[in-house]
């Protein structure tokens, strides 16, 4: 019998780049499609406490991938929005999951949470050794607060929440918009465009 049999799973951001792959993997591991809920932002604003309360009800596991995110340009234009939206979603979802007795909460973080000046490859023990790179700091710190909240709720309430830090991700289904994409997909788009136009060089910035 699979561990996932009869489990009811909430995957926020489940229709996005990373989330869509996770939803497919859950199905491959035996989760019934009707037991996977993927709230869509246009009808379920996770910045609202009541929406978070509703979607975590009766769930065994919550995988929180939803985020308001973008590349360097988007971060520069929206530091306040990126902080508020991401911090609010995380705070409400973790708190309401604890209240609803969710068995496992998986919060997905970001490498933007790491200090601006740290060793490469990144090591978890260096996570608090400095302030993040200023451009991404509001987003990175908002996501980082989920780690603090999960640790606090584990310590005080025994809440089973974890915080995962993925590396840079890219691939099919990613955002390749030149105005809002991350560096790697933006570079891929530039290369593809250059090949189509028979250009011999590309400009990395701008």
pLDDT tens for each residue of 105-162: 999 999 889 999 988 888 889 999 999 999 999 999 999 999 999 999 999 999 999 9
Q: What tokens appear for 22 in the block?
A: 């996770």
CA dist 109 and 116 (Å) reads 16
Is 139 noted as a catalytic residue in this protein?
yes
Query: pLDDT (tens digit, 9 = 90+) per residue, 146-205?
Result: 999 999 999 999 999 999 998 777 777 776 776 666 677 777 777 788 888 888 787 766
**pTM of the entire structure?**
0.85
Question: CB–CB of 85/47 below 8 Å?
Answer: yes
Provide mean pLDDT across the span 61-74.
90
Mean pLDDT of 33-54: 96
Which domains are delineated in the chain?
A: 9-169 (3.40.50.720), 172-206 (no CATH)
- The Cα 107–Cα 150 span in angstroms is 9
Rounded average pLDDT over 27-44: 94
Q: How far apart are CA 86 and CA 66, in angstroms?
A: 8
Between 51 and 120, the more confident residue is: 51
Contact 14, 22 (CB under 8 A): yes
Question: Which residue of the set 84, 114, 139, 170 is catalytic?
Answer: 139
- Whether the Cβ atoms of residue 111 and residue 124 lie closer than 8 Å to each other: no
Segment 47-60 mean pLDDT: 97
Q: What is the pLDDT of residues 4-33, one digit of tens each?
A: 888 999 999 998 888 999 999 999 999 999
Residue 120's pLDDT is: 85
Residue 117: partners with Cβ closer than 8 Å, 6 or more residues away:
130
Assess whether pLDDT exceeds 60 at residue 1: no
Structure tokens, 109:
């973080």
**Do 36 and 9 meet the contact criterion of CB atoms below 8 Å apart?**
yes
Q: Does position 48 have pLDDT exceeding 70, yes or no?
A: yes
């Amino acid at each position: 019998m699979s561990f996932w049999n009869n489990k009811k799973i909430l995957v926020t951001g489940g229709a996005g780049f990373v989330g869509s792959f996770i939803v497919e993997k859950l199905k491959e591991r035996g989760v019934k499609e009707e037991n996977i809920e993927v709230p869509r932002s246009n009808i379920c604003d996770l910045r609202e406490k009541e929406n978070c309360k509703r979607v975590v009800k009766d769930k065994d596991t919550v995988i929180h991938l939803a985020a308001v995110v973008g590349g360097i340009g988007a971060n520069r234009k929206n530091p306040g929005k990126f902080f508020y939206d991401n911090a609010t979603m995380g705070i409400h979802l973790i708190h309401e999951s604890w209240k609803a007795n969710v068995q496992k909460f998986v919060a997905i973080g970001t490498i933007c949470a790491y200090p601006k000046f740290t060793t490469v490859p990144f090591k978890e023990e260096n996570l608090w050794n400095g302030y993040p790179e200023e451009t991404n700091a509001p987003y990175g710190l908002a996501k980082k607060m989920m780690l603090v909240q999960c640790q606090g709720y584990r310590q005080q309430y025994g809440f089973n929440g974890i915080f995962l830090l993925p590396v840079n991700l890219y691939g099919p289904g990613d955002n390749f918009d030149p105005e809002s994409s991350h560096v790697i997909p933006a570079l891929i788009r530039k290369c593809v465009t250059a090949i189509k136009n028979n250009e011999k060089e590309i400009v990395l910035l701008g």
